[in-house]
Structure 1
Amino acid sequence: MKLQCLRYFGALLGVTLLLGGCAGKTVYEPVKVDAAIRNVEKLDKGIRSVVREGAVLNRTSVVTKKSGVIADILPPGFHFINEDDDNIIVGDDSGGVQIISKTTKKPVFSKKFAQPVVSATRRGDLLALVLADNTIVLYDIRADSERYRESLGKVIAIDARAANPVFVNDLIVFPTLDGRLLIMDSNKKIVLRDVALSDKELFNNVIFLKVHNNILVAATASKVIVVTPKRIYTYSADVKDILYVGHDIYVFTKGGKIIHLNEKLQKVEEKDFEYANFVAVAEMNGKLYGVERQGYLIEMDRKLGNVTVKKLDDEVEQPSIIAKDVLYIGDKAIDLKVQ
């Protein structure tokens, strides 16, 4: 009898939760859909994994935000990390890292570290790295030796969209996995400044870092920061993604808002796409694009006006990225220039 009561109570609870879940809208539903996406190309292989600057397209190819598709360049077991004009940086899960020429598709540098490489950037003979145990390393490729190493304390969990280090004149900015920016003098190999963004225990790594005209913009999942030669500005938000275009900063929040900020982090404009879950964002030719998980491509101008919503074939359940005017979703490619 007790078992029957428990079954009845469980069934009643399930119905109650189901009805309660249906009572409130929790997914994005556009007021109007302007058109359907067309010219969808089917790929032989799909996107396997996505990081800040690119993705693994299949086991041997990558798609990057600067170069688009680079075929047959990825060694077995490696994933994409970053790129420069001539090379890509790749790593594996056991600490291996390689710099591979885009032209010859052969390694020009190879090294094994004790921990996997989360992010990395090269300039000349210097390779700046952030390892999975929150250690920063400055490596001299020509001398084949470390110039600097500092362990910053363990982290429990990180966001996969980890930002890469940035070289600015004689400085290197390391985005750490515990929500800090370490600014180093690349000549003296000393840390000049330690800037804390936020101090949450989980998923607190720096997910965005860009420098333009001596203005540094960075973000974690909970805070945006602007560092200028004169002062620091901060802005708190549930950050899903961020764009920094010209003098404009666009914060895509986890609740579906797009917040337009200036370089002092003052709000210029805000648009609320209620419950929208943006899985990929980009700026191209003066337009902002947001890919919404329920299967929509949202397009607008940089003032957050002239919004159009286009329907994708299905919900976005596979890895996605916008690179070189093309939206990649799983094994599909959509040319945004002809939409």
Structure 2
Amino acid sequence: MKGLSLLTFTVAALLFSGCSSKKYFEPEQTFSASNASTSYGGSISDLSREGGTLKSGQYISKAGVSTVNLGEGYRFLNENDTYILATNTEGILKVIDKKTKEAVREVSLKVPVVSATIHNGVIAYILNNNTFGIYQMKDNRKLVESRSEATVAIDTRAASPIFIDGLVVMPMLDGKLIIVNINDSDNAKVVYLSTEKVFNNIIYLSRKGNTMIAATPKRLLTLGSSGQNEYKANISEVAFDKGIIYLFTKEGEILALNSYLEKVGEAKYKFAHYSVGTAFNGKVYGLDQGGSLIVMNSALTKQKIYDVGEVDEPAFITGTKLYKDGDMIELSKLGYE
């Protein structure tokens, strides 16, 4: 993926340039998570917001480890109940039928695909040059394609488009959301989150009830019944559980925010650098790159830290499961007491 690889290398260069002076989170006491860990025998070579591509050509998604092989040179983008979306360095968008495990479409978009979502036979996609488009499978044609402002470098955790009724919300690489009506694409609405010049793409996008939540690495935005609210932070990850938004920051903080983005809880772990984070069933989980898995209560007042080993490959959380370096850790088995 020539364009995307350049951006990825840019991210990597910035991350590793400061390694010699980087300080690490060192908890006083840790516990074993061996009772919650099993091996799945895979190795993640590429990560998207919706899953990871394994070196074997298979992938991990929200449904777990799939037996479908994406094909040589392809990386996983997304899936629904019927189809799998994958892409390669030449900008081919491959649509694979889950039943036959064969490709039913190979759409040449000519530019590497960063993210994509499929819903009712319609595919919304975002390309590496900050172009968004909508493709309809039954007619084998593009309904719309439009390019936004060029970007220099992005955070690789690029969010995927989401469908809301007859609308598609496009999380662009230049810090804005473009809301497109599938049947009337000329009247798109634009919502700006941030105007930073680099690393400004939307890294998180979801809909929770009547509220849409979006984030760039610098700003969190909610749109819903409580109006439009914003919160500034150096964001590593975003999670949501029981009406509370949890922010994992690059300063080692974990922040709990209500629907008005007012802070209702806070914890800080000095020098923690979060690889992934999540929240469910009244618990909050944050994995530090050094291998400390922090488990907290929803109020962020109680904690227990597990040593799961340094993070060597990209890690991925889906549901209650953490996939890390060939192991699957069932997070629901880990408590904070």
TM-score, normalised by the number of residues in structure 1: 0.87
Question: d(CA) in 1 for partners of 2:282 and 2:171?
Answer: 28
Q: Residue by residue, what CA displacement relative to the aligned partner does 1:94-116 show, whole Å, maximum 9, x if unpaired?
A: 10111223333222332111201
Structure 1 position 206 matched with structure 2 position 164: no
Structure 1 position 183 matched with structure 2 position 167: no
Where structure 1 has 5 or more consecutive residues not aligned to the other structure, the ranges are 1-19
Deviation at 1:337, TM superposition (A): 3.9
SS, match of residue 334 in structure 1:
strand
Structure 1 position 174 matched with structure 2 position 182: no
Structure 1 position 266 matched with structure 2 position 262: yes
Where does residue 317 of structure 1 map in the other structure?
312
Asked if the contact 1:162/1:205 (under 8 Å) is kept, the reply is: yes
Deviation at 1:324, TM superposition (A): 4.2
Q: 2:56 aligns with which of 37, 41, 59?
A: 59
Asked if the contact 2:96/2:102 (under 8 Å) is kept, the reply is: yes
Where structure 2 has 5 or more consecutive residues not aligned to the other structure, the ranges are 1-19
Aligned residue identity for 1:234: E
Asked if the contact 2:241/2:281 (under 8 Å) is kept, the reply is: no
**For the structure 1 residues 191 and 132, does the alpha-carbon distance in structure 2 shift closer, same or farther, using more than 3 Å as the test?**
farther
Asked if the contact 1:81/1:91 (under 8 Å) is kept, the reply is: yes
TM-score, normalised by the number of residues in structure 2: 0.88
Structure 1 position 50 matched with structure 2 position 51: no
How much is the aligned-residue C-alpha RMSD, in angstroms?
Answer: 1.9
Deviation at 1:193, TM superposition (A): 1.5
Where does residue 236 of structure 1 map in the other structure?
232
Deviation at 1:93, TM superposition (A): 1.3
Deviation at 1:52, TM superposition (A): 0.9
Structure 1 position 120 matched with structure 2 position 116: yes
Q: 2:24 aligns with which of 18, 27, 32?
A: 27
Deviation at 1:46, TM superposition (A): 1.1
Q: Residue by residue, what CA displacement relative to the aligned partner does 1:78-130 show, whole Å, maximum 9, x if unpaired?
A: 00111223322111111011122333322233211120111111111321111
Where does residue 15 of structure 2 map in the other structure?
none
Question: d(CA) in 1 for partners of 2:251 and 2:201?
Answer: 20
Asked if the contact 2:241/2:282 (under 8 Å) is kept, the reply is: no
Deviation at 1:229, TM superposition (A): 5.2
Deviating beyond 4 angstroms after TM superposition, the runs of 4 or more aligned structure 1 residues are: none
Asked if the contact 1:68/1:324 (under 8 Å) is kept, the reply is: no
Deviation at 1:283, TM superposition (A): 2.4
Where does residue 127 of structure 2 map in the other structure?
131
Q: How does 1:76-155 map to 2 (within 5 A)?
A: 76-155=72-151
SS, match of residue 65 in structure 2:
strand
Where does residue 36 of structure 1 map in the other structure?
32
Identity of matched residues, %? 32
Question: d(CA) in 1 for partners of 2:306 and 2:42?
Answer: 25
Asked if the contact 1:180/1:206 (under 8 Å) is kept, the reply is: yes
Q: 1:163 aligns with which of 138, 159, 162?
A: 159
Question: d(CA) in 2 for partners of 1:232 and 1:276?
Answer: 30
SS, match of residue 110 in structure 1:
strand
Question: d(CA) in 1 for partners of 2:239 and 2:283?
Answer: 12
Question: d(CA) in 2 for partners of 1:324 and 1:227?
Answer: 24
Deviation at 1:217, TM superposition (A): 0.4
SS, match of residue 26 in structure 1:
coil
Asked if the contact 1:159/1:205 (under 8 Å) is kept, the reply is: yes
SS, match of residue 48 in structure 1:
strand
Structure 1 position 326 matched with structure 2 position 324: no
Asked if the contact 2:295/2:305 (under 8 Å) is kept, the reply is: yes
Deviation at 1:336, TM superposition (A): 2.9
Deviation at 1:244, TM superposition (A): 2.2
Deviation at 1:285, TM superposition (A): 3.2
Deviation at 1:48, TM superposition (A): 1.3
Where does residue 5 of structure 2 map in the other structure?
none
Question: d(CA) in 2 for partners of 1:185 and 1:174?
Answer: 11
Q: Residue by residue, what CA displacement relative to the aligned partner does 1:35-87 show, whole Å, maximum 9, x if unpaired?
A: 112144344431112111110123321111x2011023311110011122332
Asked if the contact 1:296/1:309 (under 8 Å) is kept, the reply is: yes
Question: d(CA) in 2 for partners of 1:115 and 1:246?
Answer: 39
